[in-house]
Structure 1
Amino acid sequence: MKNNLIKIILAACLFSFQLGHSQYKNEREHRILKSQFPAAAIVNINENVSDFKRIKFYKETDSTIISYEAKLKKDKLWYGIEFDEEGTLEAIEILIKVTDIPNDTYDKITGYLNNNFAKYKIRKLKQQYPSNNEAVGETFKNAFQNLILPSNNYQVVIADKTDKGSIDYEILFDADGNFKKSKTSLPPNYDHVLY
């Protein structure tokens, strides 16, 4: 009887450990040439964005998913336009500051961070416009007008200090500051550096 109870407790602990770590995914981003970027995505950018500067193309590799991101500057703001492998728009992100987030939302975000991370530093804040079954042009219009909508998300990139070093996390919150998901980010790829 005691043996069965120990086995059940052990199985429950292993299951909860696996469930707790399943929300974290490793992601790596590296720069690519324009010719390596999906052609449909480039057409979408050219049709919906004008007068932008400094466009750069990136490929993001998650544990199972490959996506693409074009980063550009327009009207003194930095934008990241994310696409899937076929060139379908997934989301548009804007690099923002703390003052750009409503106070109640920011309080909920910092409350979550304080409860879940011992020593963290916020590296980036992004306002995200997901492409939710609406026309691509509508998503571009909302993002480039910098509208605050109930469908927006906030992405917080933090560095959490642990005993073994620092781990970067990308944490997604909804427009009200409620936690949605989290994933770890791998350090930048320095394969191009020769020693």
Structure 2
Amino acid sequence: MQLKITFAAFILCSHFGYSQYKYEREHRILKSQFPAEAISTITTYVPTFKRIKFYKETDSLKISYVAKLKKDKLWYGIEFDKESTLKNIEILIKPTDFPNDTYSNIVEYLNNTFYKYKIKKMKQQYPSSIDSLEKIFKNAFQNLILSTNNYELVVAGRKKKGYLDYEILFDADGNFKQIKTSLPTNYDHVLY
């Protein structure tokens, strides 16, 4: 009986520990390696942009594709899954772009979670599950602050075992949603 309880506790602990941390890696790819249907979606809804780059993102559970581009002095990331379905659109932002209460909640979470931390990137995220493609692109490229937005921070944080890079997702009010551990950047090959 003791063995069964120990085994069940081990399975539950390993399941919860695994679900909180997903190791993620992003590397640059050629346009020809990016899904053609996703490129077609981008050119349909974003006819003018500058400096587009293509990336493949892999983690322990999924593969996705990200197109990063510049439009109207803002940097956007448009993420698709393997089937070229839009997952979300992200915009790089600064602390002044957050609603005050949202940013305060995020900082409070970071202070309570890490001994020390450094915010590397901040993104405002428009999830795709809410509206039609046309409305999602319109909202994102007008940079609207909506109650359905998420905020994603890339943080170098120190816990008991040292520094790691984390991607932390918050809702529109700054409430914690999810955390992922990021692997270091892959420098196996460089595309110019």
157-166 or 47-56, which deviates more? 157-166
Corresponding letter in the other structure for 1:69 = V
Question: Residue 50 of structure 2 contacts residue 71 of structure 2 at CA under 8 Å; is this kept in 1?
Answer: yes
Q: 1:122 to 1:66 in 2, by over 3 A?
A: same
Question: Residue 157 of structure 2 contacts residue 164 of structure 2 at CA under 8 Å; is this kept in 1?
Answer: yes
Q: Which residues of 2 match residues 30-109 of structure 1 at below 5 A?
A: 30-109=27-106
| Structure 1 segments (4+ residues) deviating >2 Å | 6-18, 161-166
Q: 1:117 to 1:7 in 2, by over 3 A?
A: farther
Mapped to 1, the partners of 2:181 and 2:107 lie a distance apart of: 18
Mapped to 2, the partners of 1:52 and 1:123 lie a distance apart of: 25
In the alignment, structure 1 residue 158 sits paired with structure 2 residue 155 = yes
The SS at the match of 1:139 is: helix
Corresponding letter in the other structure for 2:114 = F
Q: Give the one of 133, 137, 141 matched to 1:136.
A: 133
Extract unaligned runs of 5+ from structure 1.
Answer: none
| Percentage identity across paired residues of the two chains | 68
1:54-84: per-residue Cα shift (whole Å, max 9, x none)? Answer: 0000000111200000000000000000000
Question: Residue 147 of structure 2 contacts residue 172 of structure 2 at CA under 8 Å; is this kept in 1?
Answer: yes
TM-score of the two chains, using structure 2 as the length reference: 0.91
TM-score of the two chains, using structure 1 as the length reference: 0.90
In the alignment, structure 1 residue 113 sits paired with structure 2 residue 113 = no
1:7 Cα deviation after fit: 8.2
The SS at the match of 1:19 is: helix
1:90-137: per-residue Cα shift (whole Å, max 9, x none)? Answer: 100000000000110111111111111111111110000000142111
Corresponding letter in the other structure for 1:15 = L
In the alignment, structure 1 residue 192 sits paired with structure 2 residue 189 = yes
In the alignment, structure 1 residue 146 sits paired with structure 2 residue 143 = yes
Root mean square deviation, CA, Å: 2.0
